[in-house]
Amino acid sequence: MAKQKNKSARPADGAFHAGTAGELHQTTDARDSTLTTNQGIAISDNQNSLRSGTRGPTLLEDFVLREKITHFDHERIPERIVHARGSGAHGYFEAYGDLSDLTRAAFLCDPGIQTPVFARFSTVAGGAGSVDLPRDVRGFAVKFYTQQGTFDLVGNNIPVFFIQDAIKFPDLVHAVKMEPDRGYPQAASAHDTFWDFVSLMPESLHMILWLMSDRAIPRSLRMIEGFGVHTFRFINAEGTSTFVKFHWRPRIGSASVLWDEAVKISGADPDFHRRDLFEAIERGDFPEWELSVQAFDQATADSFPFDVLDATKLIPEEMVPLKPIGRMVLNRNPDNFFAETEQVAFHPGHVVPGIDFSDDPLLQGRLFSYTDTQLSRLGGPNFHQIPVNRPRCPMHNFQRDALMQMEVPKGRVNYEPNSLAPDSPRENPDAGFVTYPDTDSGDKVRVRSETFMDHYSQARLFFRSMTAPEQDHIVNAFAFELGKVETPDVRCRVLGHVKNVDAELCDRVEQALGMPGQAYTIPPAREPIDMAPSPALSLLAKAQPTLVGRKIGVLVSDGFEMALLEQLQASAEAEGAVLQVIGPTIGKVKSSGKETVTPDHAIAAAPSVLFDTVAVAVCGPDIEALKGQAAALNFLRDAYAHLKFIGFTATSMPLLEAAGIAVDDAVIEMDSRADAAAYVEAAKEGRFWPRAKVIKA
């Protein structure tokens, strides 16, 4: 291989190659690493365009410049119309046992099979560059590369949906996205058009209750539950159909942030969720979910006071328990965000033999939409050839040509049946996908079944299944969202629906808005019923004390006790938590014994909203400086207002006093290693809810 000269050493352009550019060039000494054009032509100069004279005009002849700029101009592809902002990861799925009594999907029937997966989590309303923590639904889409073809489970973190019929989806999405004349708000449902639509679509009320709940502001993508939403079918080898609902449960439990935290995180770290997922996988803390199904037959479906084909309804676990069937582990970050996370193309219609659809009219509409959207997003029908979308099993057919064809098929036969290529692919009635022969049919009508008419009972069920703090949050969320609605009529109409859900909830929202008694009277299409509460719907009721996958932030300053920090670190590790040290600056901090620690963050860049619990071990002259810094005071004030557990050393007291923190049972003094360990143990509770009596969180 010819050696290239170190460009920075070339006298003619040396002046233009100072600094980083010059250093980069020093590594370019083999043809293998030579920078080339897309045609493979070696590039001699990547710093200067071709011009007529050193100060003259740039020449059109410069094919290196033109190719580079043209490619750059086309770097962005249309973002997803919904779910544009997402984060993805690779991993695997393993079945727990043999599910062949229910399905012939091989990957669910053999615990020995490790099926590769790619998962993508997303928000729905915002654009690709929007923040991670708006109040929104989270997409939970998983591509299983099975040996029988690709299965996509394209779900959400909420088990129901806004609408019952796909024909309303464009209206729903238009209503929630930025208003078309003003181009705002971005990634927010708190505006007139969304609530106007909701107020005229009573079927959305159940989903609205979920959207106003803590589910819509998750602490981490690693902590969300996932749901297939629609009723699907499992089909076994005998052709027997069983209805199923899919559920994902995170191993480390679910948790949410408070609204005030979400607001502040959006400013402090707009990539909070994306970073959290990426960093957890990088450090080997692999997120894991258990997949379960609720499996039931037609007779059970017929016994419910709601229709299992109606995507605005769920089946309480207390009515049909969850059957765990396998687990998914995400253990590898994408190598390239665009190539994988952006180009991955999910489709609820990607099913394998053994999994089939129900007649849910929302699902039926989705079966059209997803391929159609990839055609405009990814440019043509060959998107299955993009590496992240390729099946990981043999794939043969006679589809040919089209934009961006990457394959070079051989031979003269591109049709079937044929006699000229006896070894070419043929249909296979045994292994092939056979649609379940459902017998339901009727007149061609644009009519919704009577069984879809009850819009409030399950919204009521959801509200009444929440713990007191969760109910408070729902009230606050309604007050925030409706408070942003400018049209009083819309507010009153929404309140009318909320009244049908639960009169007390309506009263509380009216009070919070300062609109007592202003709910419209809206006669329900069907009188709601009272269902038995379902504790499984509450996140707090299910929450176990834990710090697994959580973050502890410790603020130290010169003179801190190293033994204490070591204890906090050891306790954090033992609990599976990550501890980060925060200093007055990013510069080294000296302990009382003159050991030094390099902080992970300076206080100005580490607000306590980025941590699940915080401790302060400050002392000496630094305290005076910290007392005069908004970032340091708010570090404590926010942690306190967000009901977090706070550990503190006696020497830190002046900072606590300056921040106005009253010591309560969750503000824990750490005078010894044992105290530090006790603080970490206590912090497993997550939040100290009794403080909510003092501070509205």
Q: Does 206 bind ligand HDE (CB under 6 A)?
A: no
The answer to whether 220 and 276 are in contact (CB under 8 A) is yes
**One residue of 289, 346, 357, 462 binding ligand HDE per CB under 6 A:** 346
155 part of the interface to ligand HDE, by CB under 6 A: yes
Pairing, β 646-648 against β 667-669: parallel
Per rule CB under 6 A, is residue 82 in the interface with ligand HDE?
yes
- Interface residue with ligand HDE among 85, 191, 273, 366 (CB under 6 A) is 366
Q: Contact between 210 and ligand HDE (CB under 6 A)?
A: no
Indicate whether 122 belongs to the interface with ligand HDE (CB under 6 A).
yes
Note whether 397 and 384 are within 8 A (CB): no
CB 686 within 8 A of CB 255: yes
Residue with tokens 């590769």: 116
DSSP string, 206-226: HHHHHHTSGGGSBS-GGG--E
Residue 166 near ligand HDE by CB under 6 A: yes
Residue 363 in contact with residue 348, Cβ under 8 Å?
yes
Contact between 141 and ligand HDE per CB under 6 A: yes
What count of other Cβ atoms lies within 10 Å of the Cβ of residue 114? 14
Task: Sheet with 646-648: list strands edge to edge.
Answer: 601-602, 578-583, 551-556, 613-617, 646-648, 667-669
Q: Does 633 bind ligand HDE (CB under 6 A)?
A: no
> What is the SS3 assignment for 93?
strand
Least CB distance to ligand HDE at residue 373 (A): 4
Q: Which of 7, 17, 80, 499 binds ligand HDE (CB under 6 A)?
A: 80
Q: What CA–CA distance (Å, rounded) separates 575 from 607?
A: 23
**Is 155 or 253 the residue whose CB approaches ligand HDE more closely?**
155
Query: Which residues fall within 8 angstroms of residue 449, CB to CB, at 6 or more apart?
Result: 307, 309
Please identify which residue in 102, 109, 142, 154 interacts with ligand HDE, judged by CB under 6 A: 154
The minimum distance between CB 5 and ligand HDE, in angstroms, equals 47
Picking from 402, 400, 362, the residue whose alpha carbon sits closest to that of residue 378 is 402
Q: Where are the beta strands (DSSP E) in 445-583?
A: 551-556, 578-583
Taking the C-alpha atoms of residue 187 and residue 478, their distance in angstroms, rounded to an integer, is 17
Q: Which part of the chain contacts ligand HDE (CB under 6 A), choosing from 25-33, 79-87, 525-533, 587-595? A: 79-87
Q: Among residues 7, 64, 86, 136, which is the contact residue for ligand HDE, using CB under 6 A?
A: 86
* Site map 293..312 versus ligand HDE, x via CB under 6 A: ------------------x-
Binding residue count for ligand HDE, defined by CB under 6 A: 26
Strands 355-357 and 288-296: unpaired
Q: Record the tokens describing residue 22, joined without a space.
A: 């010059």
* Cα radius of gyration rounded to whole Å, the chain: 29
Residue whose C-beta lies closest to ligand HDE: 139
Residues facing 519 on adjacent strands: none
Q: Which is nearer to ligand HDE, 311 or 670 (CB)?
A: 311
209 binds ligand HDE (CB under 6 A): no
d(CA 100, CA 619): 64
Given 17, 25, 83, 642, which residue is catalytic?
Answer: 83
Distance of alpha carbon 248 from alpha carbon 326, whole angstroms: 10
Which residue among the candidates 25, 156, 273, 333 is catalytic per the annotation?
A: 156
> Does the protein bind ligand HDE through residue 367 (CB under 6 A)?
no
Q: β-strands 613-617, 646-648: how paired?
A: parallel
Our answer to whether residue 156 is catalytic in this structure is yes
Nearer to ligand HDE, 134 or 647 (CB): 134
Tell me if 81 contacts ligand HDE by CB under 6 A. yes
Nearer of residues 370 and 433 to ligand HDE, judged by Cβ: 370
**Piece of the chain touching ligand HDE by CB under 6 A; list 154-162, 207-215, 238-246, 261-269:** 154-162
Cis peptide before 417 (omega within 30 of 0): yes
**Residue 362 engages ligand HDE in binding (rule: CB under 6 A):** yes
Of 107, 144, 169, 679, the one binding ligand HDE by CB under 6 A: 169
Distance in Å, CB of 609 to ligand HDE, minimum = 26
Question: Which range in 295-303, 362-370, 386-394, 584-592 contacts ligand HDE by CB under 6 A?
Answer: 362-370
Stretch that binds ligand HDE, among 149-157, 217-225, 386-394, 409-417 (CB under 6 A): 149-157
177 is an interface residue for ligand HDE by CB under 6 A: no
Q: Measured from the CB atom, is 226 or 553 closer to ligand HDE?
A: 226
Site membership for ligand HDE, residue 379 (CB under 6 A): no
DSSP state of 648: E
Nearer to ligand HDE, 286 or 370 (CB): 370
- Closer residue to ligand HDE (CB): 83 or 499: 83
**Residue 77 or 695 having the CB closest to ligand HDE:** 77
Angle, helices 457-464 vs 488-501, to 10°: value is 80
Size of the chain, expressed as the number of residues it contains: 697
Helices 468-483, 503-513: inter-axial angle, 10-degree rounding: 50
User: Could you tell me which stretch among 30-38, 58-66, 74-82, 285-293 binds ligand HDE (CB under 6 A)?
Assistant: 74-82
Stretch 326-345 residues interacting with ligand HDE (CB under 6 A): 344-345
Query: Shortest CA distance to 344 belongs to which of 619, 554, 143, 557?
Result: 143
Decide if 83 is catalytic. yes
Helices (H) and strands (E) in the chain, counts: 19, 18
Q: Categorise residue 559: left if φ over 0, alpha if ψ from -120 to 50, beta otherwise.
A: left
Measured from the CB atom, is 166 or 252 closer to ligand HDE? 166
Q: For residue 502, is it left (φ>0), alpha (ψ between -120 and 50) or beta?
A: beta
The residue (of 77 and 503) whose beta carbon lies closer to ligand HDE is 77
Nearer to ligand HDE, 155 or 334 (CB): 155
State which residue, 365 or 535, has the beta carbon closest to ligand HDE: 365
Q: What is d(CA 220, CA 274) in angstroms, rounded to the nearest whole number?
A: 9
Contact between 139 and ligand HDE by CB under 6 A: the answer reads yes
369 contributes a contact to ligand HDE by CB under 6 A: yes
For residue 527, give the amino acid letter.
E
For the bound state, the minimum distance from the C-beta of residue 592 to ligand HDE, rounded and expressed in Å, comes to: 51
Residues 6+ apart with CB under 8 A from 442: none
Q: 241: helix, coil or strand?
A: strand
Which residue of 93, 118, 161, 232 would you call a contact of ligand HDE, by CB under 6 A? 161
Q: How far is CA 625 from the centre of its chain?
A: 39
Q: Rounded CA gap, 432 and 444, in Å? A: 30
Binding of ligand HDE by 473 (CB under 6 A) = no
Question: Considering the rule CB under 6 A, would residue 156 count as an interface residue with ligand HDE?
Answer: yes
Q: Which residues bind ligand HDE (CB under 6 A)?
A: 80-83, 86, 120, 122, 139, 141, 154-156, 161, 166, 169, 229, 311, 344-346, 362, 365-366, 369-370, 373
* Residues with catalytic roles: 83, 156
